[in-house]
Structure 1
């Protein structure tokens, strides 16, 4: 009896380069296994799949080695954040407040 397979995608993106690889994997393949089978790391030498955060269609999966893929799912490999989003929002709010205060003083 032939082994059953499913079609999945593996995606990774940098600011200047993106790659989505479609592949067929055996049923029961984990996210991490699919990422390795896609050979996407050959396109991004700095990419460490074992240490990378991953998700499926925008939802982070805490243990990619344990999450089994279903037909048609896309594994997304996430880059580390450069800045904390909360800190960036705080800075943006402080800047907007300073501009508003400055405009209020000029009136």
Structure 2
């Protein structure tokens, strides 16, 4: 006796962003399709040859995922670029330069902040 599994079709998205361009491609496949299969099927690597499928980090809706993770209908596969600078090293560099982060992420110069505080005196 042979057991057959119906080939249920799902649709997902594959997303990749560069500093100057963002692409989200719709991909149709079978239930059980993996992250890696979706990336290959999207042909996004042809458009962005810098994507190295062997080393690239990926996720589903902002959460890290392995390339063999099975997808569900409506999932968005995200292909992540390498960081330009290590966040820890960037913080150390700012600290060494005497800069401090304001709430909200903007950098402020302590000296300039002190000058402004004393302006109304």
Q: Please tell me the TM-score bracket, short chain as reference.
A: 0.7 to 0.9
Q: Which runs of 5+ in 1 are unaligned?
A: none
Take 1:68 and 1:57, find their aligned partners in 2: how far apart are those partners?
Answer: 14
Which sections of structure 2, spanning at least 5 residues, go unmatched?
101-108
The partner residue of 2:110 within 87, 90, 100 is 100
Counterpart of 1:71 in structure 2 is 73
Query: Which stretches of structure 1, 4 residues or more, deviate above 6 A after TM superposition?
Result: none
Per the alignment, in what secondary structure is the counterpart of residue 77 of structure 2? strand
Q: Deviations over 1:47-67 (max 9, x none)?
A: 112221000111111x21x21
Once the two structures are TM-superposed, the CA of residue 90 in structure 1 deviates from its matched residue by 2.5
With CA pairs under 8 Å and 6+ residues apart, which has the higher RCO, 1 or 2? Answer: 1
Rg larger in structure? 2
More displaced 10-residue stretch of structure 1: 83-92 or 30-39: 83-92
TM-fit CA distance, 1:8: 0.2
More helix per residue? 1
- 2:91 equivalent to 1:81: no
CA distance in 1, matches of 2:27, 2:57: 20
Structure 2 residue aligned with 1:29: 33
- Cα drift, residue 100 of structure 1: 2.5
Structure 1 match to 2:57: 53
Deviates more, 1:31-40 or 1:45-54: 45-54
TM-superposed deviation, 1:7? 0.8
After superposition, the CA RMSD in angstroms is 2.3
Equivalent in the alignment of 1:18: 22
